[in-house]
Amino acid sequence: MSLPFALTHVSDLLAPHDGPCLSLYVPTALRLPEKFADALRLKTLLRSATLPLEGTLGHGVLENLREPIEALIANRAFWPSTQAGLAVLRSRDLFRVYRLPTPVPELAMVADSFHVRPLLRYLQGADRYEVLALTHETARLFEGNRDALHEVTPHPAVPRTLEEALGKEETEPTETGAGIGKLGPGMAGVSMHHTLSSQRQEVDKDTVRFFRAVDRAITQHHSRVSGVPLLLAALPEYHALCASLSHNPHLVPEMVAGNPAAWSIDELRLKAWAVMQPRMAARLAAAVEQFGASRPVGRAAELLDDVAQAARTGRIRLLLVDEQRMVPGHIDPLSGRVIEGTIDDPHTDDLLDDLAELTLRNGGEVLMVPGAQMPTRTGVAAVLRY
């Protein structure tokens, strides 16, 4: 019925589809019974998006577009599973529902292609990160940004407990030497000490095996897919161990020290963002500096027409996009020129969305940037390959 959105889904959404393409975004409540009100919000968005199509599409085609979304709206079992945001994308040949751990602006758009910038904001935002909360026998994964943090269900290959990781291979407690009754005077304490010491060593071995299994699975099935920084939250005594075992290139050196099992999700978010905020600020500053350094040598563009031509020809290496701004219009597929639209037309494209899509299709990187930190007034800033 629905999926957590991942980088691997972008190419499917950017591919040509049999339009019209409906893009519906709903910020969803975090608790019941408010979650059921989100179904009514989606119903209103669907009506506003499809009502103007009644004069242009046949009744059967329009009903086919609406049918799976209406079924979703009526499915009361679905709504308790939503997170902080919901994206519903529908064309004649595709229907996708994505649960998002961060809020999205309420929006309904109908165009020749899907409006994906809210999804790119989630994936390509400069402030996105993941948190791995580890204890000696449990592992939990979270995704978030500066505004929110949400626990996600990890890939099935990721062990969530020591027992899942080791199963029957979990080391049994070991006793060394004869039983206490056969030891003779004064030897019981020595045997008990030796037994406890052996048990502690075996527990440590299991912890190492557990952490190694978690690291391997998180690296392969999450970090390589998302490409975002991974922050470890664990007791201080596990930090050096995890750092020495990990082969995850996205694991950041800084860690959140403490017992994550004792924290609420909001406490974890505050602790995680305190660590991540300076890193995110540095990343954003470096991108803006890169744009500034490219200007004097003619490898930067900021005017919409210039950026459109560069995106169309695959010249953009890095595109900074204002995450809040919307510019109505589209790019002419033949000439590459910008065609302006009007903000009150529900069926107009978002030009900045088109520029981000073209850049991604041609192998460039897109970074969503808070408006106050954009180095231009046009809503885009491009660093060119040549």
Statement to judge: residues 300 and 350 lie in one domain: yes
pLDDT at position 345, please? 63
Q: What is the 3-state secondary structure (H, E, C) of 92-131?
A: CCEEEEEEECCCCCCEEEEECCCCCHHHHHHHHECCCEEE
Question: Residue 327 corresponds to which tokens in the numbers above?
Answer: 């510019």
Statement to judge: residues 236 and 377 lie in one domain: no
Question: Which is more confident, 44 or 191?
Answer: 44
Check whether 102 has a pLDDT greater than 80: no
β-strands 139-144, 149-152 pairing: antiparallel
Host domain of residue 272: 129-175+205-283
49 found inside a domain: yes
pLDDT at position 168, please? 62
Statement to judge: residues 274 and 311 lie in one domain: no
Check whether 203 has a pLDDT greater than 70: no
List C-alpha distances in Å: 63 to 1, 49, 72, 76, 364.
19, 13, 14, 21, 38
Average pLDDT of the chain to the nearest whole number: 85
Nearby residues of 339 by Cβ (< 8 Å), 6 or more positions away: 329, 330, 331, 332
Mean pLDDT of 341-361: 78
CA 327 to chain centre: 25
CATH of the domain at 232: 3.30.420
Q: Give Rg (Cα) of the chain.
A: 26
CA 118 to chain centre: 11
DSSP-derived 3-state class of residue 379: coil
Question: Residue 155 corresponds to which tokens in the numbers above?
Answer: 């890939």
Check whether 68 has a pLDDT greater than 90: yes
Statement to judge: residues 134 and 257 lie in one domain: yes
Question: Residue 363 corresponds to which tokens in the numbers above?
Answer: 């192998």
> Distance between CA atoms of 248 and 217, rounded to whole angstroms?
10
Residue 176 pLDDT level (bands cut at 50, 70, 90): very low
CA-based max dimension of the chain: 98
